[in-house]
Structure 1
Amino acid sequence: MASSNSKNTTQAGYGYTHQSLRRALLPSAYGKPCPHCQQPMLPGQPLDLDHTADRTSYRGFAHASCNRSEGARRGNAQRSARRTWRTSRQW
Protein backbone atom coordinates (compact mmCIF):
# COMPACT_ATOMS: atom_id res chain seq x y z
CA MET A 1 0.00 0.00 0.00
CA ALA A 2 1.33 3.47 -0.90
CA SER A 3 2.04 5.93 1.86
CA SER A 4 -0.33 8.82 2.35
CA ASN A 5 2.29 11.30 1.14
CA SER A 6 3.11 9.52 -2.14
CA LYS A 7 2.65 11.63 -5.25
CA ASN A 8 2.27 10.88 -8.91
CA THR A 9 4.80 12.39 -11.30
CA THR A 10 2.75 15.50 -12.03
CA GLN A 11 2.13 16.19 -8.34
CA ALA A 12 5.86 15.77 -7.68
CA GLY A 13 6.67 18.51 -10.22
CA TYR A 14 7.43 16.25 -13.17
CA GLY A 15 4.48 17.08 -15.39
CA TYR A 16 3.94 17.01 -19.13
CA THR A 17 6.89 19.26 -20.03
CA HIS A 18 9.36 17.23 -17.98
CA GLN A 19 8.04 13.91 -19.25
CA SER A 20 8.08 15.06 -22.89
CA LEU A 21 11.65 16.33 -22.59
CA ARG A 22 12.71 13.08 -20.90
CA ARG A 23 11.21 10.96 -23.70
CA ALA A 24 12.85 13.08 -26.40
CA LEU A 25 16.32 13.10 -24.81
CA LEU A 26 16.51 9.57 -23.40
CA PRO A 27 17.91 7.86 -26.53
CA SER A 28 20.87 10.28 -26.58
CA ALA A 29 21.83 9.33 -22.99
CA TYR A 30 22.69 5.71 -23.77
CA GLY A 31 26.42 5.01 -23.81
CA LYS A 32 27.33 8.26 -22.07
CA PRO A 33 28.84 8.24 -18.57
CA CYS A 34 26.67 9.00 -15.58
CA PRO A 35 27.76 12.38 -14.16
CA HIS A 36 27.79 10.92 -10.64
CA CYS A 37 29.50 7.50 -10.96
CA GLN A 38 31.10 7.82 -14.43
CA GLN A 39 29.77 4.37 -15.46
CA PRO A 40 28.01 4.13 -18.85
CA MET A 41 24.24 4.51 -18.96
CA LEU A 42 22.80 1.56 -20.85
CA PRO A 43 19.38 0.70 -22.34
CA GLY A 44 17.24 -1.04 -19.76
CA GLN A 45 18.80 0.75 -16.79
CA PRO A 46 16.54 3.12 -14.86
CA LEU A 47 17.65 6.67 -15.72
CA ASP A 48 16.47 9.99 -14.32
CA LEU A 49 16.51 13.36 -16.02
CA ASP A 50 18.76 15.11 -13.50
CA HIS A 51 18.11 18.74 -12.56
CA THR A 52 20.04 21.40 -10.72
CA ALA A 53 19.69 21.67 -6.94
CA ASP A 54 17.36 24.65 -7.29
CA ARG A 55 15.30 22.74 -9.90
CA THR A 56 15.46 25.59 -12.43
CA SER A 57 17.22 23.67 -15.22
CA TYR A 58 18.23 20.20 -16.29
CA ARG A 59 21.76 18.77 -16.25
CA GLY A 60 21.09 15.71 -18.40
CA PHE A 61 20.57 12.07 -17.47
CA ALA A 62 21.99 10.06 -14.59
CA HIS A 63 21.42 6.57 -13.23
CA ALA A 64 18.26 6.73 -11.11
CA SER A 65 20.06 5.34 -8.05
CA CYS A 66 22.95 7.83 -8.41
CA ASN A 67 20.60 10.77 -8.92
CA ARG A 68 18.41 9.86 -5.95
CA SER A 69 21.40 9.19 -3.68
CA GLU A 70 22.79 12.62 -4.53
CA GLY A 71 19.41 14.25 -3.87
CA ALA A 72 19.13 12.47 -0.52
CA ARG A 73 22.66 13.52 0.42
CA ARG A 74 21.90 17.17 -0.37
CA GLY A 75 18.57 17.04 1.45
CA ASN A 76 20.12 15.46 4.54
CA ALA A 77 22.89 18.07 4.58
CA GLN A 78 20.31 20.88 4.38
CA ARG A 79 18.26 19.38 7.20
CA SER A 80 21.36 18.95 9.37
CA ALA A 81 22.34 22.56 8.78
CA ARG A 82 18.88 23.74 9.94
CA ARG A 83 18.72 21.47 12.96
CA THR A 84 18.87 23.18 16.31
CA TRP A 85 20.26 21.19 19.18
CA ARG A 86 18.35 21.17 22.42
CA THR A 87 19.80 20.40 25.78
CA SER A 88 18.04 19.45 28.95
CA ARG A 89 19.69 22.29 30.79
CA GLN A 90 18.73 25.96 30.56
CA TRP A 91 21.80 28.15 30.22
Structure 2
Amino acid sequence: MPNIVSFKFNPTELKLNKFIDFYGYCTQWNQNIYVYGKNEAQKVHRLSELLSFILFSHDHECLIVIEGSGINETRDYISKHLSGVQTA
Protein backbone atom coordinates (compact mmCIF):
# COMPACT_ATOMS: atom_id res chain seq x y z
CA MET A 1 0.00 0.00 0.00
CA PRO A 2 1.46 3.40 -0.96
CA ASN A 3 2.41 5.73 1.86
CA ILE A 4 1.81 8.88 -0.16
CA VAL A 5 -1.16 11.20 -0.61
CA SER A 6 -1.27 14.39 -2.65
CA PHE A 7 -3.73 17.17 -3.28
CA LYS A 8 -4.03 20.27 -5.44
CA PHE A 9 -5.17 23.62 -4.13
CA ASN A 10 -5.40 27.27 -5.02
CA PRO A 11 -3.39 29.20 -2.38
CA THR A 12 -5.71 32.21 -2.51
CA GLU A 13 -8.79 30.14 -1.64
CA LEU A 14 -7.65 28.44 1.57
CA LYS A 15 -7.43 29.80 5.09
CA LEU A 16 -4.03 29.81 6.81
CA ASN A 17 -5.40 28.49 10.10
CA LYS A 18 -6.46 25.31 8.29
CA PHE A 19 -2.89 24.84 7.03
CA ILE A 20 -1.47 25.47 10.49
CA ASP A 21 -3.71 22.71 11.88
CA PHE A 22 -2.84 20.47 8.93
CA TYR A 23 0.89 20.95 9.51
CA GLY A 24 0.46 20.02 13.18
CA TYR A 25 -1.48 16.92 12.20
CA CYS A 26 1.25 15.79 9.78
CA THR A 27 4.01 16.36 12.33
CA GLN A 28 2.19 14.10 14.81
CA TRP A 29 2.63 11.27 12.29
CA ASN A 30 6.23 12.34 11.45
CA GLN A 31 5.21 12.71 7.82
CA ASN A 32 7.25 14.48 5.16
CA ILE A 33 5.55 17.36 3.38
CA TYR A 34 6.54 18.54 -0.09
CA VAL A 35 5.07 21.57 -1.88
CA TYR A 36 5.17 22.17 -5.61
CA GLY A 37 4.25 25.26 -7.59
CA LYS A 38 4.84 26.15 -11.20
CA ASN A 39 8.32 27.56 -10.52
CA GLU A 40 9.20 26.14 -7.11
CA ALA A 41 9.41 22.84 -5.26
CA GLN A 42 10.61 22.20 -1.72
CA LYS A 43 10.48 19.87 1.22
CA VAL A 44 8.88 21.56 4.22
CA HIS A 45 10.97 21.42 7.41
CA ARG A 46 9.11 24.07 9.44
CA LEU A 47 5.65 25.57 9.58
CA SER A 48 7.05 28.93 8.47
CA GLU A 49 8.24 27.36 5.20
CA LEU A 50 4.77 26.01 4.43
CA LEU A 51 3.10 29.32 5.25
CA SER A 52 5.64 31.30 3.21
CA PHE A 53 5.06 29.06 0.22
CA ILE A 54 1.29 29.50 0.49
CA LEU A 55 1.43 33.26 1.11
CA PHE A 56 3.93 34.11 -1.59
CA SER A 57 2.98 31.62 -4.27
CA HIS A 58 1.58 33.38 -7.30
CA ASP A 59 0.46 30.16 -8.92
CA HIS A 60 -3.24 29.45 -9.26
CA GLU A 61 -2.67 25.80 -8.56
CA CYS A 62 -0.17 24.13 -6.23
CA LEU A 63 0.44 20.56 -5.19
CA ILE A 64 1.19 19.19 -1.73
CA VAL A 65 2.55 15.66 -1.31
CA ILE A 66 2.59 13.94 2.09
CA GLU A 67 4.71 10.88 2.64
CA GLY A 68 4.92 8.59 5.65
CA SER A 69 2.82 6.46 7.97
CA GLY A 70 -0.83 7.18 8.72
CA ILE A 71 -1.66 8.15 5.14
CA ASN A 72 -5.22 6.81 5.26
CA GLU A 73 -5.88 8.91 8.35
CA THR A 74 -4.30 11.94 6.67
CA ARG A 75 -6.46 11.44 3.58
CA ASP A 76 -9.54 11.41 5.85
CA TYR A 77 -8.29 14.53 7.64
CA ILE A 78 -7.84 16.36 4.33
CA SER A 79 -11.33 15.49 3.10
CA LYS A 80 -12.92 16.62 6.40
CA HIS A 81 -10.91 19.76 7.18
CA LEU A 82 -9.54 21.19 3.94
CA SER A 83 -12.50 21.98 1.74
CA GLY A 84 -11.55 23.33 -1.65
CA VAL A 85 -8.74 20.90 -2.36
CA GLN A 86 -8.63 18.13 -4.95
CA THR A 87 -7.01 14.83 -4.06
CA ALA A 88 -4.61 14.11 -6.89
**Bigger RCO of structures 1 and 2 (CA < 8 A, at least 6 apart):** 2
Compare the two structures and name the one with the higher helix fraction.
2
TM-score by structure 1 length?
0.28
TM-score by structure 2 length?
0.28
